[in-house]
Amino acid sequence: MPKSAYDVTEPKTMRSCVVFASPHSGRDYPWSFIRSSVLDERSIRSSEDAFVDQLFDCAPEFGAAFICAGAPRAFVDLNRAHDELDPALIEGVRRRGHNPRIASGLGVIPRVVANGRAIYSGKITRSEADRRIEEYWKPYHVKLQALLDAAHLRHGQAVLIDCHSMPHEAMDGVARAGMKRPDVVLGDRFGAAASGEVVDRVEAAFASAGFVVTRNTPFAGAYITQAYGRPSRGQHAVQVEIDRSLYMNETLIRPNGAFDEVRAALRQVVAEVARIGQGRLPLAAE
Give residue-wise pLDDT tens across range 107-116. Answer: 999 999 999 9
The Cα 68–Cα 8 span in angstroms is 6
Task: Tell me what pLDDT residue 47 has.
Answer: 93
The torsion angles phi and psi of 209, rounded to 5 degrees, stand at: -90, 5
Task: Tell me what pLDDT residue 154 has.
Answer: 94
| Mean confidence (pLDDT) of the chain | 94
Give the pLDDT mean for 271-279. 87
Task: Tell me what pLDDT residue 98 has.
Answer: 87
pLDDT band at 178 (very low <50, low <70, confident <90, very high): low
Percent of the chain scored above 90 by pLDDT?
Answer: 88
Q: Answer whether residue 177 shows pLDDT above 80.
A: no
Q: Answer whether residue 37 shows pLDDT above 60.
A: yes
Do 44 and 119 form a contact (C-beta atoms < 8 A)?
Answer: yes
76 three-class SS = coil
Q: Answer whether residue 230 shows pLDDT above 90.
A: yes
pLDDT band at 173 (very low <50, low <70, confident <90, very high): confident
Task: Tell me what pLDDT residue 285 has.
Answer: 44
For the packed helices 196-208 and 259-273, what is the interaxial angle rounded to 10 degrees?
Answer: 150
Q: Answer whether residue 187 shows pLDDT above 60.
A: yes
Q: pLDDT digit string (tens) for 39-91?
A: 999 999 999 999 999 999 999 999 999 999 999 999 999 999 999 999 999 99
Give the pLDDT mean for 198-217. 97
Question: Among 281, 38, 27, 49, which residue's Cα sits nearest to residue 165?
Answer: 49
Percent of the chain scored above 70 by pLDDT?
Answer: 96
| CA atoms within 13 A of residue 63's CA, in its CB half-sphere | 18
The Cα 224–Cα 233 span in angstroms is 16
Q: Answer whether residue 284 shows pLDDT above 70.
A: no
Q: Answer whether residue 278 shows pLDDT above 80.
A: no
- Which architecture, in CATH terms, is 6-76+130-273? 3-Layer(aba) Sandwich (3.40)
135 three-class SS = helix
How far are the Cα atoms of 48, 75, 91, 109 from residue 128, in angstroms, in the given order?
21, 11, 10, 10
Element (H, E) at 15: none
Give the pLDDT mean for 124-150. 98
The Cα 53–Cα 153 span in angstroms is 26
Which residues contact residue 195 at a Cβ distance below 8 angstroms, ignoring those fewer than 6 apart? 231, 236, 283, 284, 285, 286
Which residues contact residue 23 at a Cβ distance below 8 angstroms, ignoring those fewer than 6 apart? 68, 69, 73, 78, 79, 140, 162, 164, 224
Task: Tell me what pLDDT residue 172 has.
Answer: 87
Q: In what order do the strands lie in the sheet with 18-22?
A: 6-9, 65-69, 18-22, 158-166, 235-243, 184-187, 213-215
Task: Tell me what pLDDT residue 179 has.
Answer: 78
The Cα 68–Cα 20 span in angstroms is 8
Task: Tell me what pLDDT residue 281 has.
Answer: 44
Q: pLDDT digit string (tens) for 194-204?
A: 999 999 999 99
Q: Mind spelling out the 3-state secondary structure of 149-160?
A: HHHHHHHCCEEE
